[in-house]
Structure 1
Amino acid sequence: MKSNVQIRKVEKQDLDFVYKAICELENEILNFEVFKEIFEENISNPKNLYLMAENENEGLGFISFHTQNLLHHCGLVGEIQEFFIYQNYRSQGVGRQLISEVLDYANQNNLKSIEVTTNKRRVENVAIYENLGFTLSHNKFTINRIQ
């Protein structure tokens, strides 16, 4: 693990870093103006935790974590929405540091559980999440681009 990795909250000036990371994660160029509006709304919401990993030179990755009170859990549940580490920094403990911060936040806020969904095309992520302590317990169904 790189000892010079720092974890901090994402701020407005991190927009370009997060935008580039999400475009790479999704393998598409997203509408920047719409992205910026959602980004600013999400990082200002106190129910969300957005964290960035960086060293003294550059951003290495980030994680976004949203919480909500759910009836079927009778309490607060968190979901990792986006989790991205740049290729050069994978398998070096950066992701584990980000997850550790999310777990600390979850414990401090008495969350009932933490959930994460990964696209089926990212088959390697199942092993990564299992290695981080998650269990494959649910199926998620989606309808995209509702008209």
Structure 2
Amino acid sequence: MRELDLSIRPATDKDADILYTMICGLENKVMDRMNFDFVFLRNIRNDAIRYYIAEYGQQPVGMGSCHIQALLHHAALVGEIQEMYVEEAFRSKAIGKMLMGYLVDFAKSKGAIQLEVTSRNYRESAHRFYQREGFEKSHVKLVRYF
């Protein structure tokens, strides 16, 4: 893969199908499309949320998202990566690293003091990726499902 053939761009409201397919791949399940579209259209209009799509030529091969939140326990803005996905055939080709650069730049441009990410316990290769990108394993996330 030549780096010149790879481009990263902000997603638009016309990219719902691309992001839906990738999120289904990330979660390894078919997501409810009506609910996905509701959340996507709401988020894509929010200036504190950004989705990026990585394309190899004209083919979408990855995506990443960042949400900026004002958090009391930091008394500041904090960025959080909510989703990061690279198609399996394109992993280990620095696409995630390039996406990360865009997410970091977005968080900094919004005045965030740090960038956080949560990743499921079994995604050990993702954990190694995030640690290579400078993230520290400093917290435990607990979830209560409804």
**Pairwise TM-score range, normalised by the shorter structure:** over 0.9
- Could you tell me how far apart the structure 1 residues matched to 2:83 and 2:51 are? 9
Q: Which residue identity is paired with 1:56?
A: G
Tell me which residue corresponds to 1:94: 95
Contact persistence 2:65–2:83 (CA under 8 A):
yes
- Could you tell me how far apart the structure 2 residues matched to 1:105 and 1:32 are? 27
Secondary structure of the corresponding residue to residue 82 of structure 1: strand
Please, which moves more after superposition, 102-111 or 5-14? 102-111
Q: Does 1:107 align with 2:117?
A: no
Tell me which residue corresponds to 2:19: 18
Structure 1 position 71, deviation (Å): 0.8
TM-score, structure 1 length as denominator? 0.94
Contact persistence 2:49–2:65 (CA under 8 A):
yes
Tell me which residue corresponds to 1:130: 131
Tell me which residue corresponds to 1:40: 41
Secondary structure of the corresponding residue to residue 130 of structure 2: helix
Runs of 4+ that moved beyond 2 A: 106-110
Residues 32-88 of structure 1 show CA distances to partners (whole Å, capped at 9, x for unaligned) of 011011011111111101111112221010001101101111110010000000011
Secondary structure of the corresponding residue to residue 53 of structure 1: strand
Write the mapping of 1:29-108 to structure 2, written as runs, cut at 5 A.
29-108=30-109
Secondary structure of the corresponding residue to residue 3 of structure 2: coil
Secondary structure of the corresponding residue to residue 68 of structure 2: strand
TM-score, structure 2 length as denominator? 0.95
- Could you tell me how far apart the structure 1 residues matched to 2:134 and 2:55 are? 24
- Matched residues, number: 145
Contact persistence 1:2–1:92 (CA under 8 A):
no
- Could you tell me how far apart the structure 2 residues matched to 1:120 and 1:70 are? 25
Secondary structure of the corresponding residue to residue 69 of structure 2: strand
Structure 1 position 106, deviation (Å): 2.2
Structure 1 position 126, deviation (Å): 1.1
Structure 1 position 94, deviation (Å): 0.8
Unpaired runs of 5+ residues, structure 2, are: none
Measured on the aligned residues, the alpha-carbon RMSD in Å equals 1.1
